[in-house]
Amino acid sequence: MNARRVIIWVLFLAVAAALYFLSGEVDRRSQEHEREANRLVQLEDPLNIQSLSISGSEVPKAMVIERRDKQHRWEMVKPVVCAADGMQVGQMLSTVLESQVTSRISDPGDLKQFGLEPPAFKLVLTSRGGDKAELLLGHLSPTKEFAYATTPGSGEVWLVPPLVRGAVNRSLFEMRDKAVLDFVVSAVNKVEINTGGQVIRLTREKAGAKPLWRFADGGEADPTAVEDMLFMVHGMMAVDILDQGIHPDKMGLTKPWGGVVLELEGGGKKGLIVGGKVTGRDERYVRRLDGGPVMVVQKTSLERFGQMNRFKLSQRRMFKVERDDVVALSVERGGQAVKFAKQGGQWVRTQPPGDEKSGEVASLLVWDLVNLKWQKLLGTTGLAGLDKPSIVIKLTIKPPATEQGKAATVMVKQLILGQVDKASGLLSAKIKGDDRVFGLDAGLLKGLPTLPKSDTKAPAGPK
């Protein structure tokens, strides 16, 4: 093939490639234009919706919900003033804004036959810039495959996915924030809880990164247990909300069964009153300290709260250490020891040496040990086996950061285990340096590592 033909073929291929890519670009732009034209809601700034309203023949009470810029939260302003459920609002807006018109009826005739005159639902969206869009939704099609929709003045009826109708068809309760008490857990400085007449008061002290909680008499509380309790209160959700027909006496709110009062940073105070049982249902009435609606919560939501007592909230941990600070572990019994060390962030058995999976038991055991709590103080009656301990567990703790030039001190904590105390059924234990005798759940023994069988065999004798 001569040079002239080569040049002609190169030019031909270049033109063909250009036409191919041009055709693809035209198709892409055509599809984008079609998607834009079929958008269910036409708004210049759909990502910054400032307010929405839902009304219509199937809406008992019209709702208006607005965004509060400072908190970036949604608030219902009609028919009641209260916090809105941000997740429900977000899901509805996402469905409506992302949906497309599937088909169009250009000469629909009487809109009543489609449930659009009057509309079953009327959704009005207003953007931050003041742009407004209205969507009217009617009946489902006979096959339930589509829902009928339109916008004022369009002259058409649209067929849209039925989930659009479902997204807008929300009850007043669904759109309200159902959190019983809204607060920031880390901002709580004082707690007063009343569970069936038992009052417990707690105060948080500033103690570095992790808070220190104390009871009113100065006794130390378990920060994790207190935090869990606060998250439990924070997570309570109402199954019903009553704005009218409130009778505090009949609902047990004037002489409440219990409650919680929280003092927050900055001097604010929030709380909850737990009233009587709802007749015929496993539910109770609750109300916030500052009044407002009466909420109904399931009995199961209050069971853990009702079981709170000083013992459960007390600091009963055997080791006050963080899991990540433990760098070595040994379990000694019968004159032999199994040792582990953390190497490169992974636990490895160092005595006897093990493979990469040999340290898995240590990782689990460290987790159990840092969360280990005593069940009872046994005193002098629970000394079973502590004079000759059956097992000694040692935790080596990473030294804290020190000033430059000063040597870091490694800390070793020892847990000494005896026998199971016959009177209590608990495993007797001591911490080296502490004179108290603790009773532990005997199930701890099941998770302790033992020497591999190959290392426990006696050496073979001469043949």
One-letter amino acid for residue 114 of the chain: F
> Helix or strand or coil: residue 115?
coil
Give the Cα separation of 195 and 30 in Å (integer). 66
Amino acid 90: pLDDT? 92
pLDDT in tens, 52-109: 999 999 999 999 999 987 667 899 999 999 999 999 999 999 999 989 999 999 888 8
Give the Cα separation of 279 and 361 in Å (integer). 51
pLDDT in tens, 412-443: 999 999 988 888 899 999 998 888 899 999 99
pLDDT in tens, 307-341: 889 999 999 999 988 888 999 999 998 889 999 99
Amino acid 435: pLDDT? 85
Strand order in the sheet with 376-377: 346-351, 336-343, 326-333, 391-397, 411-420, 427-431, 438-440, 376-377
Is the pLDDT at 302 greater than 90? The verdict is: no
Amino acid 22: pLDDT? 58
Amino acid 463: pLDDT? 39
Structure tokens at 68: 């509060």
Is the pLDDT at 457 greater than 50? The verdict is: no
Residue given tokens 């409130």 in the structure block:
246
Measured at the alpha carbon of residue 251, what is the angle toward residues 245 and 256, in degrees to the nearest 5? Answer: 140
Amino acid 378: pLDDT? 86
One-letter amino acid for residue 16 of the chain: A
Is the pLDDT at 460 greater than 50? The verdict is: no
- The alpha helices in 347-440, defined as continuous H runs, are 360-370
CA quadruple 351, 356, 357, 363: dihedral, nearest 10? 70
Integer CA distances (angstroms), 255 to 194, 252, 303, in order: 12, 6, 19
Q: Are 361 and 449 in contact (CB under 8 A)?
A: yes
Q: Over pLDDT 70: what percentage of the chain?
A: 86
Which residues does residue 209 pair with via DSSP β-bridges, in sequence order?
Answer: 207
Residue 220 CA from chain centroid, whole number? 27
Structure tokens at 154: 């369009």
Is the pLDDT at 458 greater than 50? The verdict is: no
**pLDDT confidence tier of residue 401, bands split at 50, 70 and 90:** low
One-letter amino acid for residue 344 of the chain: G
Which residues does residue 346 pair with via DSSP β-bridges, in sequence order?
Answer: 343
> Helix or strand or coil: residue 229?
helix
Give the Cα separation of 453 and 134 in Å (integer). 76
- Domains of the chain by start residue, with CATH: 49-175 (2.60.40), 185-313 (no CATH), 323-454 (2.60.40)
Amino acid 30: pLDDT? 52
SS3 per residue for 47-96: CCEEEEEEECCCCCCCEEEEEECCCCEEEEEECCCEEECHHHHHHHHHHH
Is the pLDDT at 126 greater than 70? The verdict is: yes
Specify the higher pLDDT residue, 301 or 213.
213
pLDDT in tens, 217-269: 999 999 989 999 999 999 999 999 999 899 999 999 999 999 999 999 988 89
pLDDT in tens, 194-209: 987 789 999 998 766 6
Q: Is 42 left (phi over 0), alpha (psi -120 to 50) or beta?
A: beta
Structure tokens at 53: 């309203």
Residue 123 CA from chain centroid, whole number? 31
Average pLDDT, the chain: 86
Residue given tokens 């104390």 in the structure block:
214
Structure tokens at 86: 């941000």
pLDDT in tens, 37-68: 678 887 777 778 899 999 999 999 999 999 98
Is the pLDDT at 177 greater than 90? The verdict is: yes
Amino acid 314: pLDDT? 94
Specify the higher pLDDT residue, 425 or 402.
425
**pLDDT confidence tier of residue 462, bands split at 50, 70 and 90:** very low
Using CB atoms within 10 A of its CB, is residue 221 exposed (0-12), middle (13-18) or buried (19+)? buried
Amino acid 48: pLDDT? 85
**pLDDT confidence tier of residue 124, bands split at 50, 70 and 90:** very high
Distance spanning both ends of the chain, measured CA to CA: 89
